[in-house]
Amino acid sequence: MNCRRPITFSNRRQSARTAFARVAAFTLIEMLLVITIIGIIAGLTLPHIGGLTKANVMTAATRQMLDDVAYARQKAIQNRTIVYMVFVPPGFWENTNAVAFNNLNVDRDQLTNLLVHQYSAYAMLTLKNVGDQVGRPYPRYLTDWKPLPQGVIFAPDKFSLANTNYITNWTSLLSPQPVYTVPPFAQAMLPFPTVDAATNGPNFSLPFIAFNSKGQLIPRPGQPGPQDEFIPLSRGSYLPLRDSNNVPLLADIPPVETPAGNSTSNFNIIHINALTGRAKVERPELQ
């Protein structure tokens, strides 16, 4: 008499599960091998991911500047006026600005923000608009102060008043042509950091570029006509000294380019055409 248990659907499904479990199981050695391979791949790719992140930050800063230069130009045409793109002056509490700084009527948070974003923040300003009474212009900031993405600053030499021009070392293995002659930002006495912050009116010397009602760059002071503007961006940071309460101190600390001199050896430069006011980015290319 055959006493074997009849094969049912339930038994067949249980046998399939048991067989699959035997096939799908991993030994300890196999698991350790897989983990080791994953670790090796991660070690090889992480440095490249870090470099990609830095490249993305510079790309974001470049895109931001191109968009904001276009915005300043558009507002100048739209409002039929001059629109200034002004930059936070480094050491704005020193020298000729000392009296104005003592008269600043700004809250602590705003002042701290300005100190931290030296070499990296800018805003749009106009001194008069269509509809203002004749002889009674109404200055106003069109935007808040806006910093570049963290890890990017404007080339420190753009804020230097020691030389009329500084000539970058862009004739190297990277690009034999051309050599850019890059003047520092022009300076003008303008309201800072808001139009009503200083009790004595527009008495801060601010670095700036500016667009007229045709969307063109206005001439630099002392120049017969407009000139193209070059604004190099640099990988780096500005880290002010802080007190025991982590409050930034009024100390003249230079920014740090990382690596040093990258604004001239591996540059991203915003080139603004003087006659059209349109901006483009220029980068080194291998020849």
Provide the pLDDT for residue 178: 52
Beta bridge partners of 233: 154, 268
CATH 3.55.40.10 fits 32-282, yes or no: yes
pLDDT in the model for residue 173: 43
> What gap in Å lies between CA 269 and CA 98, rounded to an integer?
32
Beta strand extents in the chain (DSSP E only): 83-87, 121-126, 140-141, 146-147, 152-154, 166-167, 181-182, 186-190, 204-211, 229-237, 256-257, 268-272, 279-282
Taking each continuous run of H as one helix and of E as one strand, the counts in the chain are 5, 13
Strand 146-147 vs strand 152-154: parallel, antiparallel, or unpaired? unpaired
52-80: b (≥16 Cβ within 10 Å) or e: eeeeebbeebbebbbebbeebbebbbebe
**Separation between Cα atoms, residue 64 and residue 143, nearest integer Å:** 14
Rg (CA), the chain: 30
pLDDT at residue 167, as a whole number: 47
The predicted structure's pLDDT at residue 3: 56
Q: Consecutive 10-residue runs of the chain (287 residues): their mean pLDDT?
A: 55 57 67 80 62 73 96 95 93 72 74 88 90 75 94 91 54 50 87 76 83 95 87 91 79 86 82 95 67
Residues 76 and 124: their CA atoms lie apart, in Å, by 10
- Global pTM? 0.75
Q: Which helix (H) or strand (E) holds 99?
A: helix 98-102
- Among the listed residues 230, 238, 228, 220, the one whose alpha carbon sits nearest the alpha carbon of residue 170: 230
Q: Nearest CA to 86 among 182, 194, 164, 162?
A: 194
> For residue 255, what are the β-bridge partners?
none
**What DSSP string runs through 33-81?**
HHHHHHHHHHHHHHHHHHHHHHHHHHHHHHHHHHHHHHHHHHHHHHHTS
